[in-house]
Every structure is written in C-alpha cells, then in structure tokens.
A = this chain, B = another copy of it.
Amino acid sequence: MNAARARTSGAEIIAAGRTLLEEGGVEAVTMLAVADRVGVRAPSLYKRVAGRSALIAAIAEGTLAELSEAIGTTADDEDPAVALRAVAIRFRAFALANPRAYGLLFGDEPTEHRLTPEASARASQPVIGLATALVGPEHALNAARLLTAFVHGFISMEIGDAFRLGGNVDEAFRYGLDVLVDALSGQRRGRSTRRR
C-alpha cells in the first residue's frame, strides 16, 4: 500500500540513453549517466531494462522504427529511378540527423545490436523491388548491393569526417547517385558489364 511510486519509465530511460548517445557516443551511455538524467539511482534502472546491453538494443530498435517511418513507402507506379533517388536522399538525411544512432544500426560494431535476419530482409525488400524495376531480375541483387553500398559508404564516411578535401559533399552525393542510377537504367536490356 505504501508502495513507492514510479519515478521514471522505460520510455524515459530509452530517451535519455538516446540523448547521451548522440552527445557522447555509445561509451557515454552509462547506467550512471542515464540514471542521473532520469533522476534515479543506477540500480533502479534494472526494474525497467535488463541491463546496459538491453538498453542499447532498445535504443537501436527505436531508431530503426523512426528510420523506416522517415523513409516512408514508394508508390508502385513511381519511376524507379526517381523513387530510388528519393529513398537514398531521405535515408541520408535521417542518418546525418542521427549519426550515432545510425552507427549503432549500421556501424561495424560487434554483432551486438544487429537487425534480425527477418528485419533485415524486410528492410531490403523495397530496394530490391526498385532495383528489379531498374535493371531486371537477373541483376537486381547485385544492383541493390551496389546502391546500398554506395549510400551506406558515403554516409559512413561523411559521419566519420573522411571527406576532407573540400568540395561540395551534398553535390558529390547527388553526383554519385545520378551516375549510378543512370548507369543502372542504361543496363535495362544491356550487354554484359563483365570485362575479361
């Protein structure tokens, strides 16, 4: 009856963790820092989350949900080249707005908080679909891998501050996207790309 009233919640804890993540990287999301932020002692967090690892997994999950909402869906009748560009641009915008959380999801870290195979397959389906529309079924998987590798690689280098030679980085992204989508479009009923 005299039971203590809850002073925080799982959602608040996850939000605090998310803030700490973007402020100081994953090593800054400390049980102590999170507890501090939500106004409780560290041991109390274990009533809501199983531990630090589970907390970080929950942050990753929340981010993934936000990301797929930010991407939205593409209409079936849309020009695949146009749709592909739009998806890539929205994806990049989300990543740049949430760089640390993006790294959590797609970074090279341990397999800690990786997507499940199903989630992963579901996430790649739209791109595979667009790639099929663009280059046909035979090269769809290869084309999708080319596109995602470019987009992820570009964003990852951008977040890691690897583009240090000046120039317009936004333009470089558009350039890359255009070259790729044009090249793949031209491949529709094309000769083999293979050399040698």
Contacts and interface: CB of A to CB of B under 8 A. Distances in A.
Interface of A: 25, 27, 103, 106-111, 114, 117, 120-121, 124, 128, 139, 141-143, 145-146, 148-154, 156-157, 159-167, 169, 171-172, 174-176, 178-180, 182-184, 187, 193-195
A156 B156 contact: yes
A143 B154 CA distance: 12
B141 A165 contact: yes
A154 to B, nearest CB: 4
B142 A167 contact: yes
A21 to B, nearest CB: 12
Contacts of A121: 164-165
Contacts of A150: 146, 149-150, 153
Nearest to A99: B108
A154 B145 contact: yes
A143 B143 CA distance: 18
